[in-house]
């Protein structure tokens, strides 16, 4: 055991792993001499989580010292930091964050040890009741175990499973970032609390780099860029979570949709359009009303019958399939739709284009025989990666989500579906992680998270195998044996929500879209009024040849016009002066500042068409 203690000190470990459990370093002497112990350092995923969670406790300690009447609730680590929710009658201010940071530095400097104590639920309830910490009492009452663990450092006691870092002095670099509202337990029926977000790193340089990244994220915020580039808007008079696509945004959306439809037709899909509402009985039959009702809107009465706004497109595609008798020779049948759906999201989680209440999903459903599953899932994986790479996403993480607690169907069906997804991933040679219990209620799924230009991860693509809905709706095909058989249904979305995907694209490119996506591809600029005729001729020629053009023929200085074109992030500015007019040539300026010369309109068009056709994403931002 002494050897382990030496290793702990040398590695500057933050916790220990014994079997599948994580424990405090202080518990090392309680272990059996032959225990298999692993060191957890702040470099590891588990270690940084423990490090950040400990920092959230230090923050709660600082808040209680500065604002004794504040009630504490919970303070977990997150993927990029931590937060703690507080019940405070007075709203926290940015100045308060500075004071809290100063107090945290004092606590860290004292190097208080984190001391774990196991007590009975009765003792814990008595302690927190005396402290008037009602939220802690509520949490303890819901714990099934007869004992709970408390952690104390510097006189501050909190309820926590742990583990924690050995002492407060382990924290090297942290920053409190923002204040937000958050309902207790995420329910709008409960009190609104105040959430303080922060982050922590084991080195100051890492924190410095992260804060620089946050500044870049602010610059790329799709809500700000959406307004500056006149792409979309939202309006309270219309309703929260509902998007208005402006002409520039609509042009980009059209380009995305045209590409999507053309590629689906090439891949053997048939296109559908389906209604926005359906009788409530349809959603009962599909299982959505039982498993998804919290995300559905209240029914509307039409001619005495209850109808629902659709949260999904799948039942409609099933009825298109059922509209004819199907033979095994016809399978697979692939239906695709850019279908608008409506899902209730709490107002607190709505966020620009990334979390909305009405959105268009690039949906598709494949009906196939059991012997076709592997091939179809493999083809969908290839198609997904092609689509993502075309939009400039080259890096991604893949997760295989397995059976949740609430599910329909049989365990055997789930195992068959899960194994089919595994085989397709392995055949494609794609690394993946298992995400236990995160499948949808009707089947397992593959989730693909893309990494953008700032290495942030975004959930977009999903592939799901479904044995449930074919059975619920009694869909069949006639097999070789002339008997009826039930097909397998594969659900898939490549981009997910168009609104969300567009928001991700805006931030990925910082609004500087590649030529094929840009709403205005070329801005034609005159140096003087005498150049107007030739400028209009160029603009007309380009428009006739499907290039999106705007003109700036006014009396402003050419430097100002170029700057305006750059601010609008137009890929190419064509500057027309005496030389160009006299020689019928073109001088084009990339938004990166590089100038290019062309001996004719035709040669410039050829250059543009090559870039559009390649759908190049190697940008000149």
Question: Which DSSP string do the residues of 271-323 spell out, in sequence order?
Answer: E----SEEEHHHHHHHTHHHHSGGGSPPPEEETTEEEEE-S-SHHHHHHHHHT
Q: Which of 551, 549, 547 is nearest to 529 (CA)?
A: 551
Q: How many Cβ atoms from other residues are within 10 Å of residue 144's Cβ? A: 5
314 is catalytic: yes
3-class SS of residue 489? strand
Catalytic pick from 24, 363, 447, 552?
363
Alpha-carbon 422 to chain mean position: 23
Burial class (CB in 10 A: 0-12, 13-18, 19+), 546: exposed
Q: What is the pLDDT of residue 113?
A: 95
Q: What is the pLDDT of residue 230?
A: 96
Q: Please, are residues 156 and 61 in contact by the beta-carbon 8 Å criterion?
A: yes
Q: What is the pLDDT of residue 620?
A: 39
**Tens of pLDDT, residues 557-582:** 999 999 999 999 999 999 999 999 99
343 is catalytic: yes
Q: What is the pLDDT of residue 3?
A: 56
Q: What is the pLDDT of residue 324?
A: 94
Catalytic pick from 361, 372, 464, 521?
361
Residues of each domain in the chain carrying CATH 3.30.980.10: 47-217
317 is catalytic: no
361 is catalytic: yes
Q: What is the pLDDT of residue 408?
A: 78
Catalytic pick from 314, 334, 531, 589?
314
Ranges of the chain with pLDDT below 50: 1, 620-621
Q: Which of 345, 424, 353, 342 is nearest to 383 (CA)?
A: 424
Provide the whole-model pTM: 0.87
3-class SS of residue 182? strand
C-alpha to C-alpha distances, 267 to 313, 333, 382, 549, nearest whole angstrom: 20, 12, 11, 32
Catalytic pick from 445, 531, 561, 591?
445
CATH architecture observed for domain 47-217:
2-Layer Sandwich (3.30)
Alpha-carbon 377 to chain mean position: 23
Instruction: Name the β-bridge partners of 76.
Output: none
Distance CA 562, CA 595 (A): 12
Q: Please, are residues 50 and 22 in contact by the beta-carbon 8 Å criterion?
A: yes
CATH fold of 232-508: BirA Bifunctional Protein; domain 2 (3.30.930)
CATH fourth-level superfamily of 522-614: Anticodon-binding domain (3.40.50.800)
3-class SS of residue 541? helix
160 is catalytic: no
Catalytic pick from 64, 202, 317, 365?
365
Catalytic pick from 343, 355, 508, 568?
343
**End-to-end CA distance of the chain, in Å?**
57
Q: What is the pLDDT of residue 350?
A: 85
Residues of each domain in the chain carrying CATH 3.30.930.10: 232-508
């Amino acid at each position: 055991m002494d050897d382990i203690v030496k290793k702990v000190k040398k590695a500057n470990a933050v916790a220990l792993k014994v079997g599948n459990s994580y424990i405090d370093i202080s518990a090392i002497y309680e272990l059996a001499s032959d225990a298999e112990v692993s060191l957890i350092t702040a470099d590891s995923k588990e270690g940084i989580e423990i490090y950040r969670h400990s920092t959230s406790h230090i923050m709660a300690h600082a808040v209680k010292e500065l604002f004794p009447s504040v009630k504490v609730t919970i303070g977990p680590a997150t993927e990029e930091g931590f937060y703690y929710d507080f019940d405070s009658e007075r709203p926290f201010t940015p100045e308060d964050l500075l004071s809290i940071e100063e107090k945290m530095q004092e606590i860290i400097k004292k190097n208080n040890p984190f001391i774990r104590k196991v007590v009975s639920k009765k003792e814990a309830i008595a302690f927190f009741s005396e402290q008037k910490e009602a939220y802690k009492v509520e949490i303890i009452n819901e714990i099934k175990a007869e004992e709970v663990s408390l952690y104390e450092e510097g006189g501050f006691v909190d309820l926590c499973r742990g583990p924690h870092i050995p002492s407060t002095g382990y924290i090297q670099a942290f920053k409190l970032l923002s204040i937000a509202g958050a309902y207790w337990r995420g329910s709008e029926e409960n009190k609104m609390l105040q959430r303080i977000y922060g982050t922590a790193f084991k080195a100051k340089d890492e924190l410095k780099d992260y804060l620089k990244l946050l500044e870049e994220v602010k610059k790329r915020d799709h809500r700000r860029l959406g307004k500056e580039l006149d792409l979309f808007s939202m309006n309270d008079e219309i309703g929260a979570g509902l998007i208005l696509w402006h002409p520039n945004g609509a042009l980009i959306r059209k380009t995305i949709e045209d590409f999507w439809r053309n590629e689906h037709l090439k891949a053997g899909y048939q296109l559908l359009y389906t209604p926005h509402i359906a009788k409530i009985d349809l959603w009962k039959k599909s299982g959505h009303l039982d498993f998804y009702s919290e995300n559905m809107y209240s029914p509307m009465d039409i001619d005495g019958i209850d109808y629902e706004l659709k949260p999904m497109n799948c039942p409609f595609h099933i009825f298109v399939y059922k509209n004819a008798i199907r033979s095994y020779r016809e399978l697979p049948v692939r239906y695709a739709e850019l279908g608008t759906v409506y899902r209730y999201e709490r107002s607190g989680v709505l966020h620009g284009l990334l979390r909305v209440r009405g959105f268009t999903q690039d949906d598709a459903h494949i009906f196939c025989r059991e012997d076709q599953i592997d091939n179809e899932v493999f083809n969908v994986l290839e198609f997904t990666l092609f689509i993502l790479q075309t939009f400039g996403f080259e890096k991604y993480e893949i997760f295989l989500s397995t059976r949740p607690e609430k599910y329909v169907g049989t365990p055997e069906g789930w195992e068959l579906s899960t194994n089919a997804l595994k085989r397709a991933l392995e055949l494609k040679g794609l690394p993946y992680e298992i995400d236990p219990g995160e499948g949808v209620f009707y089947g397992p799924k593959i989730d693909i998270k893309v990494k953008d230009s700032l290495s942030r991860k975004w959930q977009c693509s999903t592939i799901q195998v479904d044995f449930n809905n074919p059975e619920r709706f009694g869909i069949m095909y006639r097999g070789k044996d002339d008997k009826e058989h039930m097909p397998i249904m594969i659900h898939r979305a490549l981009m997910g929500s168009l609104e969300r995907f567009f928001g991700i694209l805006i931030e990925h490119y910082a609004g500087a879209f590649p030529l094929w996506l840009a709403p205005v591809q070329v801005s034609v600029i005159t140096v003087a009024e005498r150049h107007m005729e030739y400028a209009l001729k160029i603009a007309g020629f380009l428009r006739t040849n499907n290039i999106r053009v705007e003109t700036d023929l006014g009396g402003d200085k050419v430097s100002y016009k170029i700057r305006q074109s750059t601010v609008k992030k137009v890929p190419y500015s064509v500057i027309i002066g005496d030389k160009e007019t006299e020689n019928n040539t073109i001088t084009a300026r990339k938004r990166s500042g590089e100038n290019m010369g062309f001996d004719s309109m035709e040669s410039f068009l050829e250059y543009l068409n090559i870039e559009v056709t390649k759908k190049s994403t190697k940008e000149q931002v």
